[in-house]
Structure 1
């Protein structure tokens, strides 16, 4: 028994990455439904709760990964890469929750076309992150490694699209919105949503580094 305890263990890091990605997707989809049904106060409250629940579940996975880093003798990939990956993924989940909370705190009354477009791009980025992370356990396969890199490129393109949408949204906002309070509110929302895609790109950069070093 003692000998078994002393044997090196890799831990279930890849499973935990996938679990976190699933919770992140739950939060992203709930936020998308929140935006789509924003005029309905009851649905808005329901989807806000779902976003919060997904973020808390993602936090628990992050805590477990960080605990395992310190208790696992041999890790399947570099410890620093594991730490950076899970915490950057958790930043995405946090930003989704921050976006929902900010809408409530700022008493945003209606959704704009730009919020809808940025939300769609954010969800698509999160879905690609889930896909990219799912490849990590099979990097010894050349086709899988190539698919992971292609997915990272797609995330980069989506982030660039979101950046363009945000710049156009801010330009329109400052030109056409006469209420300074609305300008402040919407500017904050636009920037938060674009930051979700920025952080997804950060995840993609970490994944790309892992792929290049381990395939």
Structure 2
């Protein structure tokens, strides 16, 4: 067991989960400000850079977690759960960045009510994701485990709300927008924003599995 003795017994995974979740929320808030100030080209560029910076910071945490998995002899929770959790969280940050990039690449001229509503739901999902992630380290406490499950349920409800908003937005788009190019632009953006909430739900599902196995 000499090899095991040479490796750290536990990495600081919970702290890194929290760091990553904070970067997700930073990206979500920057994207929300981007949407709120979309008519101002200068602010639009500024908040796009902030989204990019938060996503890159989240990437660095992901790489460190994946590196540490292979260098740690005993992990605080199952290795597969650590790997799945951090990479699914990273997908959330990536999708927020993709949303900002798509709006720029497609030269979207203005945002509408549907984009604003989907953005608001995405931000709420990311904030609740951060809350749930922050509870993982204390799942041995029954009340904390219950709070984590309730938070995951809230994320599920927010995802369902976003799904309904997107269906309504798509219906309106195909009924009322005569410009095919605008249809394609808006459809892509709606789908990306709804997928942010889908991916938050995926994170919630991973957390629920961790709760059930470790509480």
Query: Which category of TM-score, normalised to the shorter sequence, fits these structures?
Result: over 0.9
Q: Does 1:143 align with 2:143?
A: yes
Residue equivalent to 1:111: 111
In the superposition, the TM-score normalised over structure 2's length comes to 0.97
Q: Does 1:164 align with 2:164?
A: yes
Give how far 1:4 is off: 11
Residue equivalent to 1:199: 199
Q: How far apart are the structure 1 equivalents of 2:23 and 2:191?
A: 23
> What are structure 1's unaligned runs of at least 5 residues?
none
1:113/1:139 Cα in 2 relative to 1: closer, same or farther (>3 Å)?
same
How many equivalent residue pairs? 214
Residue by residue, what CA displacement relative to the aligned partner does 1:137-176 show, whole Å, maximum 9, x if unpaired? 0001000000000000000000000000000000000000
Give how far 1:6 is off: 2.9
* Secondary structure at 1:191 match in 2: helix
1:141/1:102 Cα in 2 relative to 1: closer, same or farther (>3 Å)?
same
Give how far 1:210 is off: 0.1
Q: How far apart are the structure 2 equivalents of 1:128 and 1:33?
A: 19
Q: How far apart are the structure 2 equivalents of 1:204 and 1:10?
A: 24
Residue by residue, what CA displacement relative to the aligned partner does 1:75-127 show, whole Å, maximum 9, x if unpaired? 00000000000000000000000000000000000001000000000000000
Residue equivalent to 1:33: 33
What is the aligned-residue RMSD (CA, Å)? 1.4
Q: How far apart are the structure 1 equivalents of 2:110 and 2:30?
A: 17
In the superposition, the TM-score normalised over structure 1's length comes to 0.97
Give how far 1:9 is off: 1.5
Residue by residue, what CA displacement relative to the aligned partner does 1:64-84 show, whole Å, maximum 9, x if unpaired? 000000000000000000000
Give how far 1:179 is off: 0.3
> What are structure 2's unaligned runs of at least 5 residues?
none
* Secondary structure at 1:33 match in 2: helix
Residue pair 2:4, 2:73 contacting (<8 A) in 1 also: no
Residue equivalent to 2:210: 210
1:59-138 equivalences under 5 Å are: 59-138=59-138
